Amino acid sequence: MSKLGLLRTSIMSSLSVRTSMAQNLGLTSLLREPVRRFSTEAENRLQDSSTSNQPLESSPSDKPQKSLPSDKPQESSPSESFFETPSTGSVYGKLLGIKRNTLKTDVVNLLEGCNLSLDDVKMDYNRWFTAMGMLVQFPSRQAYDNAMRVIGKKGRLFKLERANRAEWDSLTPHDGKTVLLQGIPPNAVPEDVDRFLSGCEYDSSSLQLSFRPSQEPTKWATVRFRTQTEAMNAFFLKNKGFCLNGEVSIRVLQ
């Protein structure tokens, strides 16, 4: 072989070696690179995690609002709510020292200036219809205090004590329409009372006849009339009349 052929062979072998080394280096660098994912799910997760760590800007709605003064009334203490009605502010009192014949109009006139009506007064009777006092519903604490001053100026013939709503609600208002008949003979029956009240306009279904044991056992009855006028007419017509052989006294309940 000539010298020129040897030189060509040497050059060709050198080029093949360099090409092979270059290919090996490219393959090595390719293997060192991390495998790229075709899905963008991982990239989205990375972006979400990075943004979640950043502080969020507060929107105007998230900013704390200034508290405005409320129009609602402040709640009363348990001791005050026991005597007062939160919705109306009513105050209740019990008037002591009244007499048997004391009328609701007498109490309203006594407490003049306290803004009372007949509906604001209830008579407190025991089971035998003995008057124990009068429950009064005052429209406000100021009216109650005014009633205390009025009673003090009139020689303290009466006494006013605090009461509560439960006492007021437990009383049945008679409003001058219920008549109490006392002294009915113990052997009398409802038909005998009907005959006794003949000529009077009343609700016969309201008749209640009860027995009262005492030294002289008697019966008493209550009857409801439609109006106060009819109840008063029965009083004038039948008071001290006789049912069978017993004299009956009549009283209009307040």
State the CB neighbour count (10 A cutoff) for residue 180: 17
pLDDT score of 18: 52
* The pairing of beta strand 178-184 with beta strand 218-224: antiparallel
Alpha carbon distance 53, 62 (integer Å) = 19
Residue 184, helix vs strand vs coil: strand
pLDDT score of 79: 46
- Where the chain has pLDDT below 50, the residues are 15, 17, 22, 24-87
Q: Which domains does the chain have, with CATH numbers?
A: 79-170 (3.30.70.330), 178-253 (3.30.70.330)
DSSP notation for 64-91: PPPPPPP-SPPPPPHHHHHHB-TTT--E
State the CB neighbour count (10 A cutoff) for residue 174: 20
Alpha carbon distance 20, 46 (integer Å) = 40
Closest CA to 147 of 89, 95, 105: 95
pLDDT score of 155: 67
pLDDT score of 89: 82
pLDDT score of 63: 46
CB neighbours of 249 closer than 8 A, spacing ≥ 6? Answer: 181, 182, 183, 239, 240
Query: Is residue 175 left, alpha or beta, with left meaning phi > 0 and alpha meaning psi from -120 to 50?
Result: left
Residue reference for tokens 């007498």: 106
pLDDT score of 100: 79
Closest CA to 165 of 75, 117, 114, 93: 93
